[in-house]
Amino acid sequence: LVFPGVFRGLLDAQSRTVNTEMMLAAASALADVVGEDELNANYIIPSVFNDKVAGAVAGAVRKAATPA
């Protein structure tokens, strides 16, 4: 699910490496797409068709890849 967003974020940040912090940011962004009102035993990760996933993941990876 994070595939296109991770690469978009890396490209936007012009990063040549991938580290654990970036992958954790991607996982956290993916989890945050599912709202509290949607969360239940059958829906813990967003659908592959959820259009919010790629942008949320890309933004999180870009932020994690950009030096402070």
Model confidence, pTM? 0.91
Enclosing domain of residue 32: 3-65
pLDDT in tens, 12-22: 999 999 999 99
Domains contained in the chain, number:
1
Which residues fall within 8 angstroms of residue 25, CB to CB, at 6 or more apart?
A: 60, 61, 63, 64
Tell how many helices (H) and how many strands (E) occur in the chain.
3, 0
Phi-psi region of 14 (alpha: psi -120 to 50; beta: other; left: phi over 0): left
Type of residue at 24: L
Which pLDDT band holds residue 30 (cuts at 50, 70, 90)? very high
Question: Could you tell me which residue, 44 or 27, shows the higher pLDDT?
Answer: 27
Which pLDDT band holds residue 67 (cuts at 50, 70, 90)? confident
